[in-house]
Structure 1
Amino acid sequence: MDFGTWPELLVVDVEGNGATPPDLVEVAAVRIAGGRPVPTLCTLVRPPRPITSFATRVHRITNHDVADAPRWEQVAPAIQAPLQGAWIAAHNAHVDYTALSRHLPGWEPAGVIDTLRLARATYPDAPGYGLDALLTHTAIPLDGIPGCRHRAGFDAHATALLLLDLAGHYPTWQVLAAAGVPPGMPGAAVPDHEEQTLW
């Protein structure tokens, strides 16, 4: 895989407050540059509604943790800037894409790679397709990643390493994108249908 042919791409991860729809409490993005993950942004966000106890059990972010964090409108421009015009990737990407789209009106990535979809195509015999299962299956070393699982910075970095592992199974960016972009998402190939005429 020639990483020099890749478009601008950031692996993203978001954590929410447990509301429906969720308010964001943490956002991270890791740029893929020259075939390596480069942490680009990671910020806590003070949501307009409290974090539920269920959400805290998942990501361990408490209301106390975000009490002095900036509100979304204060960090949105800095988050949107690197994402503008770029591809994004995420594990189970519709979750992160939907949350970011709702919080960034008018933003649409150039394309969306779903590492969950890509992993199913790449490793059909994997025992599971959750992020933990895939990291175990691929034996990707995680020692150098700061933080812990279920925090946005850690998960974005781990997903970036997973994406790079998966990319090794594809000859070109175009083939990888064809396998990794879910139907209906930005970047999906438009099927060629012959025009049919009713006589």
Structure 2
Amino acid sequence: MPPPPPSIIRVIDLETTGSAPPAHGVCEIGWQDVALSQSGRWELFGEGGQRFVNPGRPMSPITTAIHHIRDEDVADAPWWHDVARPILDPWPRRVALAAHRATFEEQFCTPSLTRGADWICTWKCALRLWPDSPSFSNQVLRYWRKPEGLEHERGLPAHRAFPDAYVTAFHLRDMLNEASVAQLIEWSKLPGLLPRVRYGPDRGKEWSEIDDDSLHGFLSDRDIDIRFTAETEYRRRLGGGPVGRTPENLLL
């Protein structure tokens, strides 16, 4: 008897008519699976896929200019609720879902469609695992890290659902080979822990390098990631733990 197919983490990428459902809708979904191999390492699994979706509203020129999906490309495509569940919930094999900046995908991939799946945000996890990256976008990580085995043309064009999911899957694979699934999910549930200051006179500095007065100014920032990072650094200065790269013993 052939062995059963392995459990997977499914990487998802969406292209949409805008960023705020229900005013905006999905026009394309792409996916690529990552699975634990018999060697004990995580690897890409299967060919992945892509489906167009009828968003039920016209595409704006601004969003079309990003992904180049036109109204006529999706006019005969199925509706989101007819497409989503079989892709988002390949039960019982799916361990979790993943996306780069997963909070965007989670707006459209609601718990009723995912069977309440946990999410891994590869952007938040990259901040923790690879803080030296010059930036943390999907494509910057791609060219900074140059993941082994990534086929350049298969990951193009950018801002299309399958190529972006394919690239993200390589980031996820490498993260899973550094940290546990549980750890990645835990980080993903928290705000982003930023390795460097984003703006102001201290822009580009590590948080440990700025003075107390500057740090206190960030404690009330409207950006939840900046505020969370400032609070974490403040606790570190009071003896409450690290900020930035996580000690190896926390990855177990």
| Alpha-carbon offset, residue 93 of structure 1 | 0.6
2:116 and 2:49 map into 1 onto residues whose CA distance is 17
Residue-by-residue CA offset, 1:101-157 (whole Å, 9 max, x unaligned): 1xx636444311110011000111211011111111101233262651111101111
Q: Of the two structures, which has the highest relative contact order with CA contacts closer than 8 Å and spacing of 6 or more?
A: 1
Mapped to 1, the partners of 2:67 and 2:91 lie a distance apart of 24
Deviation at 1:69, TM superposition (A): 1.6
Aligned match of 2:133 in 126, 138, 146? 126
Change (3 A) 1:116 1:77: closer
- Label 1:121 to 1:7 Cα distance change in 2 as closer, same or farther (>3 A): farther
Which residue does the alignment assign to 1:23?
A: 25
- TM-score, length of structure 2 as denominator length: 0.61
Bigger helix share? 2
Percent identity, aligned pairs only? 27
Number of residue pairs matched? Answer: 175
2:34 corresponds in structure 1 to: 32
Give the RMSD, CA atoms, in angstroms.
2.5
1:68 pairs with 72, 76, 84, which one? Answer: 76
Any unmatched runs of 5+ in structure 2? Answer: 1-5, 192-252
Deviation at 1:166, TM superposition (A): 2.4
Q: Does 1:161 align with 2:170?
A: yes
2:133 maps to amino acid: A
Deviation at 1:174, TM superposition (A): 3.4
Aligned to 2:12: 12
Distance 1:96 1:83 in 2: 19
- 1:191 maps to which residue? none
Tell me if structure 2 keeps the 8 A contact 1:10–1:83. Answer: no
Q: How far is 1:39 from its partner?
A: 3.4
Contact 1:41–1:79 (CA under 8 A) maintained in structure 2: no
Relative to 1, partners in 2 of residues 1:47 and 1:176: Cα closer, same or farther, differing over 3 Å? closer
